[in-house]
């Protein structure tokens, strides 16, 4: 019997009713070898980030927000008829981590605090599943997902993870139990907690799927499957029944939020199908992502990213933008963790579109001695794969095109 890996995100366990629904889903598959990878409850990660920022800014409001977060978790336990004391130790540890957090080495403190979202949620979900007589064994993902110490976006140590899955996960499955662990988090060789980047639970599930040679991996979401566009942005978005690994990785790279960008590679390497399906609609089998060799006539695949900043970086002395200039620019961007969603260079300028955040000014400060920099903010980045003139005209109507880049299959447009 092949292993199945299920990933449940925050939306699937946002309240007591949602957790009960997850229990119903697991019961339907309880005869299989199951590994469950669970995210933090609802918007917990956002709240933990807010608490950390308030604490570092010396705003005592952080304690009130933490108390509210505690109460929301305790309320769920009460509704599930589970003793709230099962979270006491975790909240005690979390508060201590917040108390020592400073702006020095921010990324380190980020991982030590924000990681508790997954530890809290999996403790709750494990207790509930055991309460309904499912043979669930909780495992600490930090003992499985070995990483380096690149905090907030740690790199995995695959050979160690393979050993850990063999030593820790296989015995549980052999004992006919269901494995339940956390997404998003890992640890260094010294046991220090790390995280894999926002929305990294998908990636955790894919790594474990690879190491366990899973028969398939399923991401349970609040949509019926992969859509050709975000239905919250485009009312006419349609579901895609089957998608190739290549198309999926292109969509995620360009910003589609359906899966984490790193998820596809481990699955494609062993040809493990990825299924995206709804936790609210079990009759729908969802979207299958696999190494399809069929010629599929895809509809236009549309990704619209809001809150973009277009940077134009120019030499001050009218000299050409050389490889040495680009090397310097890319090094600064890498150091500040600024991902270029689109880039283009001319004779004396380099243009790129990045997500608007507070790290932009940190990077530009390092570049202004050598370059003249122009900024355009509050823009959109529209990416269309399998485009047509009709769909381009429709989606850009009334917009000013600030930058355009086109290949045979993909067009990207920075819009104002």
pLDDT digits (tens, 9 = 90+) for 220-232: 999 899 999 998 8
pLDDT > 80? residue 293: no
Please, are residues 201 and 41 in contact by the beta-carbon 8 Å criterion?
A: no
Domains of the chain plus CATH, in order, are 3-221 (3.40.1160.10), 301-415 (3.30.2130.10)
pLDDT digits (tens, 9 = 90+) for 134-178: 999 999 999 999 999 999 999 999 999 999 999 999 999 999 999
pLDDT of residue 1: 79
> Rounded mean pLDDT of 252-271?
90
Look at residues 138, 130, 23 and name the one whose alpha carbon lies nearest to residue 83: 130
Average pLDDT for the chain: 95
pLDDT (mean) for 193-208? 95
Is the pLDDT reported for residue 96 higher than 80? yes
Strands 371-385 and 301-315: antiparallel
Q: Is the pLDDT of residue 251 over 70?
A: yes
Question: Which structure tokens are listed for 360?
Answer: 């932009």
Q: Is the pLDDT of residue 295 over 80?
A: no
Are 146 and 186 a contacting pair, CB within 8 Å? yes
What is the rounded CA–CA span in Å between residue 22 and residue 12?
7
Backbone angles phi and psi of 71, in degrees to 5? -65, -35
Q: Residue 292 pLDDT > 80, yes or no? A: no
Position 67 confidence tier, pLDDT thresholds 50, 70, 90: very high
The whole-number pLDDT of residue 31 equals 87
pTM: 0.91
Mean pLDDT for 375-401 is 96
Please state the rounded mean pLDDT for residues 104-124.
97
Question: Which of 294-298, 342-346, 348-352, 408-412 is the least confident region?
Answer: 294-298
Q: Is the pLDDT of residue 396 over 70?
A: yes
What percent of the chain clears pLDDT 90, i.e. is strictly above it? 91
* pLDDT for res 211: 98
Contacts of 159 (CB under 8 A, 6+ apart): none
Could you tell me whether strands 178-182 and 193-195 are parallel, antiparallel, or unpaired per DSSP bridges?
unpaired
- Name the residue among 170, 118, 137 with its Cα closest to residue 9: 118
Contact between 303 and 256 under an 8 Å Cβ cutoff? The reply is: yes
Q: How confident is the model at residue 71 (pLDDT cuts 50, 70, 90)?
A: very high
Rounded percentage of the chain residues whose pLDDT exceeds 70: 99
Given a cut of 90, whether residue 407 has pLDDT beyond it is yes
């Amino acid at each position: 019997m092949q292993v199945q890996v299920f990933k449940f995100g925050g939306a699937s366990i946002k309240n007591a009713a949602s957790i009960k629904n997850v229990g119903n889903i697991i019961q339907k598959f309880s005869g299989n070898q199951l590994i469950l990878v669970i995210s933090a409850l609802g918007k917990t990660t956002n709240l933990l980030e807010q608490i950390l920022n308030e604490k570092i800014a010396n705003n005592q409001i952080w304690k009130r927000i933490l108390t509210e977060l505690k109460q929301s978790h305790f309320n769920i336990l009460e509704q599930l008829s589970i003793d709230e004391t099962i979270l006491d130790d975790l909240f005690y540890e979390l508060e201590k981590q917040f108390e020592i957090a400073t702006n020095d080495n921010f990324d380190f403190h980020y991982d030590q605090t924000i990681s508790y979202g997954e530890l809290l949620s999996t403790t709750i979900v494990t207790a509930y599943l055991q309460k309904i007589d499912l043979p669930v064994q909780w495992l600490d993902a930090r003992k499985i997902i070995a990483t380096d110490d690149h905090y907030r976006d740690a790199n995995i140590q695959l050979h160690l993870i393979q050993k850990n899955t063999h030593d820790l996960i296989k015995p549980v499955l052999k004992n006919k139990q269901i494995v339940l662990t956390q997404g998003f988090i890992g640890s260094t060789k010294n046991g220090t907690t790390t995280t894999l980047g926002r929305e990294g639970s998908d990636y955790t599930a894919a790594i474990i799927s690879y190491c366990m040679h899973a028969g398939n991996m399923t991401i349970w979401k609040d949509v019926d499957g992969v859509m050709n566009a975000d239905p919250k942005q485009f009312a006419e978005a349609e579901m895609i029944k089957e998608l190739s690994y290549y198309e999926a990785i292109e969509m995620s790279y360009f910003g589609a939020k359906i899966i984490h960008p790193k998820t596809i590679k481990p699955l494609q390497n062993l040809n493990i199908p990825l299924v995206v399906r709804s936790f609210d609609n079990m009759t729908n089998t969802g979207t299958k992502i696999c190494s399809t060799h069929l010629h599929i006539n895809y509809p236009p695949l549309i990704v619209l990213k809001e809150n973009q900043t277009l940077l134009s970086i120019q030499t001050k002395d009218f000299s050409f933008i050389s490889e040495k200039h680009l090397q310097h620019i890319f090094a600064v961007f890498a150091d500040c963790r600024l991902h270029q969603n689109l880039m283009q260079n001319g004779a004396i300028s380099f243009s790129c579109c990045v997500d608007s955040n507070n790290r932009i000014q940190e990077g530009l400060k390092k570049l202004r001695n050598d370059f003249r920099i122009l900024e355009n903010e509050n823009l959109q980045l529209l990416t269309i794969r399998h485009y047509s003139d009709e769909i381009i005209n429709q989606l850009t109507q009334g917009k000013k095109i600030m930058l355009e880049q086109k290949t045979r299959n993909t067009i990207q447009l920075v819009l104002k």
